[in-house]
Structure 1
Amino acid sequence: MLKKERQAYILHQVNLHNKVLSATLCQDINVSEDTIRRDLQELAEEGKLIKVHGGALSHSFNEVHFSTNGVYSQSQKKKIAQKAISLIHNGMFILTSGGTTIIEMARSLPHGLKATFISGSIPVILEYMNHPNIEVILIGDRISKNSKITVGPEAIAKIRQMKADICFLGINSIDLEHGVTDNDWEVVQLKKAMIESSQRVVCMTIAEKVNTFQPIQVCEIGKIHTLITELPADNTLLQPYQQAGIQVL
């Protein structure tokens, strides 16, 4: 793979997953760690990504205040957000993860909605705070500077004390064999606790992430109740998930 093609692949993965690991890129592209390190450094110097220890972040993922421009696949994420909102009713207790798709949902909540939203994501909490009628609970603990979300044993313990009506997860990857997967160990532990503490688990993702997987499992496919993408529910890509007993929206 030529350098230009290699760097284009890296940028696409960063935009798609918000965060990439150097080790994963080495394996995917079949090049040395030094090559990936140089590529990431060059791309960072060009302002195309943020180089961090062990990998890289997208610029949108690193912001606390997300702009309405420059978010990868934003129009698709808006469609997903509208579908997710159809599942929300007055009086619900709702757990949510972080991510740009969840932010789109937070921005689109009906003004008349009266419900309680619980999250450890700083950007998501800021969006919830703009809503006139919902109650907002921040899950506290140490903040991950990379993901802008509270992580650690105290956050997990607080989540386990709850029993949410529904949990909305922005996810990195999903396939039938591996279930829901991610590349951030601390965020995975938080999502595991959210799943355990919720009566219904809803995964939100652009279709490009369907049938992909990351190194760390969040949950098996059987733990998911609903999968939301921007595609029509009867799309052939999603039929195997329906056959596995998952509601597809």
Structure 2
Amino acid sequence: MSRHETAYHAALEGSEVAHRLYRTELSVTTKDSAMDYVTRADTETQRRIIDRIVEDYPDATIVGEEGDELKSVPADGSAWVIDPIDGTSNFVHDIPFWATTVAAVHDGDTVGATTIMPALGNTYTAGPDRVTLNGYRMTVSEKTAVEEFKVAAILRYGPERDDVFGNLLSTLIREFGDLRRLGCAQGTLGMVASGSLDAAVSTQSNPNPWDTIAGVYLVERAGGTVTDIAGDPWTPDADGFVASNGQAHDAVIERVSDVSNRKK
């Protein structure tokens, strides 16, 4: 089975575990901050994803959010990047906007990705030949006027960056048509890829690979553009993040590039 097909099946089986545990009573703990949740659903979903991957690739290298898996993507060779539940805060607060996501990477390049939002019934998937939402070809939006853009802020990792994040929110609401803050980066990027949103922006430096890699691939395969916040080529450890439909990417960059340096 090809790597992008394995990524799809692993995400599908993992999402079924997560969905089965959604809206059940779960013990909730936190990690690095009071809002950084983890539940049994996260760990059981990740375990099922890994089990499915190693059925096809017994020597698989796993990069995953939970447990002792690698936390960065090796520069060489193949790896699988997993987020069992992106948007765990939404998950535990009964907000259906959360996702299970798996990306397949080879020598630093993504070769397949799937993001599944089972509570909403949405499956975003891409491989070398197709990029689809629920089995139908998807593309980014065709909007060109940033004043009409629906944009989303993503990747708020901790309170120490709240001033900058506040600057970002203020900028987005002033400079673009409308603002969303959805609490699940991969689901948000899926919406950019499918044209529901026109752009997504983050000021976060060195984001976690499981929060970005699958979504970046979806956006790019759907015809969009992804860079760092200065407009330079995006890498998993980039400083900031801008994903757009590509129709006015430079104009988006112009409006957000100095957010981190701006005083309140």
* Higher strand content, 1 or 2: 2
**More helix, by proportion:** 1
TM-score between the two structures when normalised by the length of structure 2: 0.28
Relative to the length of structure 1, the TM-score reads 0.29
| Higher RCO (Cα < 8 Å, 6 or more apart) | 2
